[in-house]
A and B are shown apart, each in its own frame.
Chain A
Amino acid sequence: MDIIIRILYAVISILVATVWGLTLTGIVRKIYARVHGRFGPPVWQPFLDIIQTHSRRVAISHGYMFFLGPVFRFAGGLGTYLFIPVILGSTVFGNFSMGGDVLLVMYFIFFGQLGMALGAGEGGHPYSPMGIARGLSQMSAFEVPFSLAIISVAIQYHSLNITTIVQAQQGSILNWTLFTNPLAVIAAMISLLGMNGHAPFSIVMAPQEIPIGPPIEMNGSFLGILQTNRGLFAAAKLILFMNLFFGGAAHPNILVALLIMMIKTFFIYMFSVFVGASFPRFRPEQSFRFFLKWPTAIGILAILYIAYL
């Protein structure tokens, strides 16, 4: 009976996260449109797109691995999300947080891309391997400052458990990692730019260069799964950052806690939107070099700062 309850809770929290992620995507589209001087699509446009992609009459496949690509990607999104406690101390939104889940989450962030690489390579279009190569190289580039920041945070709180890290930040706003360990936050936020894939790091799906990168052959339901995962994955990433650096979301009333979560994730996302709306796109090698220069140095400084000061 307990397992059924757990499954029910997991489904509920996954649904909430996906809906919030997709709504966030719609809001971001709207904000981009306002920057462009347009009205922009309605906020619920991503849901309509998902219904439309799932309702295609024909969906062409290129082999078994082609099926596995979106499935792996979605599994990566699920895995990333399911081990992050959305709301501290909540039974529904606590998810399966356990000791060492930070490493698990970092692994799952990688996992989705690898599965996508397997599937999209099967499509046979020359642009998808190019996009995969760009995506994987950029991911390994921004993983460096990100992991350095994570290590710094782990040293700071002597734990690899997100719940513990969030608990340690409670109390006052000054307990947040943002203030106790600012260097790590800077390094991690810069790598969030690459993780979200907005400009100037939008080299994976650059429409003018390799339209549109890995999912160029994905159609119909494959694309629908990918878009659903995009919502879920965005929410998972933002919630992870909120937990690690911005004090998480904790409140006895669960609705208030959800509201806090939404506000915080929104503003974390706004950071990368702000950068993305005002910069063109890097050349791939420029992007890799960028990540391996200053953010890496800042991350190392963060470790030294935490370890020896």
Chain B
Amino acid sequence: MEKKDLNEIEKEMKLANEGLPEKERILFSDARPSRVEPLNKYLEQFVNWARARSLWLLAFGTGCGATELRPLMTSRFDVSRFGIAGRPTPRQASVFIIGGYASIKTIKRIVRSYEQMQGPKYVIALGSCTINGGMYYDSYNTINRIDYYIPVDTYIAGCMPRPEALIAGFNRLKEKIQKGECDGMNKYADNFDWYKKNQKQIIKDWNMPDYNW
């Protein structure tokens, strides 16, 4: 993606704790995300092997796609065979599934949850609506491309994608993790200003810290 001019972004970027007294500043975080380098070669390979076999989904059904997650987690297509389990809190989850279209009110929560997840974190985007808007391309309340707001590792097309497609997408994500290609966390840290700019363009009432550290 093309990099924007940094200093003009700096002008329009404003941290949530600006203009607050010192003792309230600490309530918000103004720490920018920093890039974390992977471990040395063989250790990283081993760790990636373990990460790919223990994927923890964030239990956040952001859209229609959450409907097909239920058959996926339950007895018909049982993905816990592959070490995929749901975690109810973003602090512990490592995979974020964007279940279809994301309305403006949801993208705010998506950004918060994504930033609260501890890296390395992976994002799977379900459905056509996350790729190009799908059948909501002309809606005033749903975004068109999710990858302008958070980095995406794997897309699963379809409306709505079948559980088999979801399993295929999970396998694709596993391969990418084992190859060490899923580096969305560092990608987010590198293009932080660009992502923030895109997010702030649609999230009008920005009443949260710029980085939910």
A and B touch in the complex (CB under 8 A): yes
The answer to whether B54 touches A52 (Cβ under 8 A) is yes
Total chain B interface residues with beta-carbon distance under 8 A = 27
Q: Which of B50, B51, B89, B120 contacts A212 (CB 8 A)?
A: B89
Residues of chain A lying within 8 A (CB to CB) of residue B50:
48, 51-52, 55
Residues of chain A lying within 8 A (CB to CB) of residue B118:
56-60, 219-220
Chain A min CB distance to B58 (Å): 11
Residues of chain A lying within 8 A (CB to CB) of residue B80:
33, 38-41
Interface check B88, CB cutoff 8 A: yes
Q: A40-B78, A45-B54, A219-B92 are in contact. Are A57 and B83 (CB under 8 A)?
A: no
Query: Which DSSP category, helix, strand, loop or mixed, fits chain B's interface?
Result: loop
Interface check A37, CB cutoff 8 A: yes
A40-81 vs B, CB cutoff 8 Å, 1 = contact: the mask equals 111001001101110111111000000000000000000000
Residue of B with least CB distance to A217: B91
Interface check A223, CB cutoff 8 A: yes
The answer to whether B83 touches A45 (Cβ under 8 A) is yes
B43-58 vs A, CB cutoff 8 Å, 1 = contact: the mask equals 0000100110110100
The answer to whether A211 touches B88 (Cβ under 8 A) is yes
Interface residues of B in 167-207 (CB under 8 A from A): 185
Q: Give Cα distance in the complex from A38 to B54, angstroms.
A: 18
Q: A211-B88, A212-B88 are in contact. Are A48 and B78 (CB under 8 A)?
A: no
The answer to whether B75 touches A38 (Cβ under 8 A) is yes
Total chain A interface residues with beta-carbon distance under 8 A = 29
A191-205 vs B, CB cutoff 8 Å, 1 = contact: the mask equals 000000000000000
Chain A min CB distance to B73 (Å): 9
Residues of chain B lying within 8 A (CB to CB) of residue A37:
75
Chain A min CB distance to B29 (Å): 10
Interface check A207, CB cutoff 8 A: yes
Chain A min CB distance to B123 (Å): 16
Interface check A178, CB cutoff 8 A: no
Q: Give Cα distance in the complex from A53 to B93, angstroms.
A: 10
Residues of chain A lying within 8 A (CB to CB) of residue B91:
60, 216-219
Chain A min CB distance to B96 (Å): 15
Q: Which of B51, B75, B78, B81 contacts A52 (CB 8 A)?
A: B51
Q: A42-B83, A219-B91 are in contact. Are A55 and B75 (CB under 8 A)?
A: no
Given contacts A39-B78, A58-B36, 16 further A-B contacts (CB under 8 A): A33-B78, A36-B75, A37-B75, A42-B81, A48-B53, A48-B54, A48-B83, A51-B47, A56-B94, A57-B38, A58-B118, A59-B118, A211-B88, A211-B89, A218-B91, A220-B118
Q: List chain B positions with a Cβ less than 8 A from chain A.
A: 36, 38, 47, 50-51, 53-54, 56, 59, 74-75, 78, 80-81, 83, 85, 87-89, 91-92, 94, 118-120, 185, 213
Q: List chain A positions with a Cβ less than 8 A from chain B.
A: 33, 36-42, 45, 48-49, 51-53, 55-60, 207, 211-212, 216-220, 223
